[in-house]
Amino acid sequence: MPIETDEAKTDVAKTDVALEPAHVLVAVAGGIAAYKAAEVVRGLQKAGCDVRVTMTAEAEKFVGTATFDALTGHTTLTGLFETGHDADDPIAHITAAGWADAALVVPATANIIAKVACGIADDALTTALVALPADVPLLIAPAMNVHMWRAAATQANLKMLASRGVRFVYPETGRLACGDVGEGKLAPVEQIVEEALAQLRRSHAGRPQPLAGKHVVITAGPTHEAIDPVRFIGNRSSGKMGFAIAAAAVAAGAEVTLVAGPCTQPTPAGVTRVDVVSAAQMYAAARSVFADADVAICAAAVADYTPAHPADHKLKKGREELDHIDLVRTTDILAALSADKGDRVVVGFAAETNDLIANAQAKLARKGCDMIVANDVSRADSTFGSETDRVTFITAAGSEELPTMTKTQVADELVERIARLIR
Ligand code: CTP
């Protein structure tokens, strides 16, 4: 069993970049510096960005898609006719372009710069870049041989792109992979990340902020209920949905406190995160934050039961009882917050395998909340840990079924409806 103690401290950490959560499409072209794109991806994620990667066939010779799949949690987009970031999306390159708040080409070869300048779209990467909406900023970090960099054609292409508002993180002078010394060395990773974040800050200015001035508390992830200092009862929740909602709420202008059970999701930028372990800790944290909040969204997979008598020492099989554990019910956080919510908005989730609407309607009434997001987890595109969900929003006024969407899209739709409920 995984090791876990019941002594979890409540840790409040605020990400240091005051940036709205952002989607960054990283386009990796075929140069030796392609391996550095992985570090750029990590840097963007550390600042709370959700990153997707598209790469050329040449780039794949330098770095495998598996590296970026693993880092981003999204399938790397490589071919026009292959599955893209979202399973079964036949136009993944267009979807990726529409999803992006900013795009970053790293490293950009002379060839890619020429193609982007001319609007050539002959693979997934270049097609996604041509399909970028006009208001999505494009940042290019070139890296190439010094003679290719100085070539009149390259310089003319750079000028043309700059005149259209494309920005560059210019290469440094140094020893290049080919042995030449001169300009062409990829700029430092930190500088590229910083420039991309600055672009994002600019591009997010002026967006509608329907939750401005509102404080939203969100529970997310699983809880772990201690049996003894090394064993616990837990569940497989990834926390993805709650974290996506946190990012969407920050983008909508809300002050967001995310009460997170044990999970490995990166904290979205601008979100205050309170780490908890057990259901009791999650309840205490959510209750205390809700005192000062306008909205509560209970997206956590809270354990319904917890061991009645967690041992303070490691239990020994054979000598002590481990084949029978007395359990007691945990507090239902959603129901408890709903009970004294007044005119505040409380939203819960329901994972159902059958009678989705009827069960979710019953849950809405039983818990006393304003909305239930019902998720049909019997579907392949809507299971625990998947990137997509098929949800139905249920309120006292009726139900609204949405098509299969990414969790990020579901989060945006949910935030929009919560803003309406507040009004
Ligand atoms: N919830 C909670 N605190 C708990 C248990 C659940 O806040 N101790 C919240 C979840 O975050 C979610 C909703 O309640 O928003 C899920 O309701 P729940 O009754 O747990 O439903 P299921 O897990 O689907 O279980 P069942 O259908 O068996 O009641």
Per-residue pLDDT band for 179 (boundaries 50, 70, 90) equals: confident
Q: Return d(Cα 141, Cα 194) in angstroms, integer.
A: 12
- Helix (H/G/I), strand (E/B), else coil: 403: coil
Q: Is 374 in the pocket of ligand 1 (CB under 6 A)?
A: no
Pick the atom of ligand 1 nearest to 334's CA. Answer: 7
pLDDT(8) > 70 = no
- Residue of 241, 259, 298 to mutate, ligand 1, most atoms within 8 A of C-beta: 298
Per-residue pLDDT band for 393 (boundaries 50, 70, 90) equals: very high
Top-confidence range, 15-19, 92-96, 122-126, 317-321: 122-126
**pTM for this model (two decimals):** 0.61
Q: Is 300 in the pocket of ligand 1 (CB under 6 A)?
A: yes
Pick the atom of ligand 1 nearest to 286's CA. Answer: 7
Q: Is 346 in the pocket of ligand 1 (CB under 6 A)?
A: no
pLDDT(2) > 50 = no
Q: How many CB atoms lie within 10 A of CB 6?
A: 20
CA 302 to centroid of ligand 1, rounded, Å: 7
pLDDT(269) > 90 = no
Q: What is the pLDDT of residues 196-225, one digit of tens each?
A: 887 786 666 556 788 989 999 999 999 999
Q: Which comes out higher in pLDDT, residue 320 or 194?
A: 194
> What pLDDT is stored for residue 384 in this prediction?
63
- Residue of 258, 287, 327, 332 to mutate, ligand 1, most atoms within 8 A of C-beta: 332
Strands 215-220, 23-28: pairing kind: unpaired
Q: What is the pLDDT of residues 85-129, one digit of tens each?
A: 555 677 888 888 999 999 999 999 999 999 999 999 999 999 999
Pick the atom of ligand 1 nearest to 336's CA. Answer: 7
Q: Is 330 in the pocket of ligand 1 (CB under 6 A)?
A: yes
> What pLDDT is stored for residue 260 in this prediction?
98
DSSP string covering 179-247, please? Answer: S-EEEEEPPPHHHHHHHHHHHHHHHHTT---TTTT-EEEEEESB--EEEETTEEE------HHHHHHHH
Quick check: 165 and 233 in contact, CB under 8 A? no
Q: Return d(Cα 252, Cα 246) in angstroms, integer.
A: 10
Q: What is the pLDDT of residues 32-71, one digit of tens each?
A: 999 999 999 999 999 889 999 999 999 999 999 999 999 9
**Pick from 268, 216, 240: nearest CA to 21:** 268
Average pLDDT estimate for 386-410? 88
Q: Which two tokens stand for residue 113?
A: 């710069």
> What pLDDT is stored for residue 382 in this prediction?
62
CA 195 to centroid of ligand 1, rounded, Å: 42
Catalytic positions:
178
Q: Which two tokens stand for residue 161?
A: 């792109």
> What pLDDT is stored for residue 356 in this prediction?
93
Pick the range with the lowest mean pLDDT from 214-218, 235-239, 270-274: 270-274
Q: Which comes out higher in pLDDT, residue 382 or 321?
A: 321
DSSP string covering 331-395, please? Answer: P-HHHHHHHT-TTSEEEEEEEESSSHHHHHHHHHHHHT-SEEEEEETTSGGGSTT-SEE-EEEEE
Pick the atom of ligand 1 nearest to 366's CA. Answer: 19
| Rounded percentage of the chain residues whose pLDDT exceeds 90 | 65
CA 86 to centroid of ligand 1, rounded, Å: 28
Per-residue pLDDT band for 84 (boundaries 50, 70, 90) equals: low
Q: Is 99 in the pocket of ligand 1 (CB under 6 A)?
A: no
> What pLDDT is stored for residue 88 in this prediction?
67
**Pick from 19, 75, 11: nearest CA to 43:** 19
CA 220 to centroid of ligand 1, rounded, Å: 12
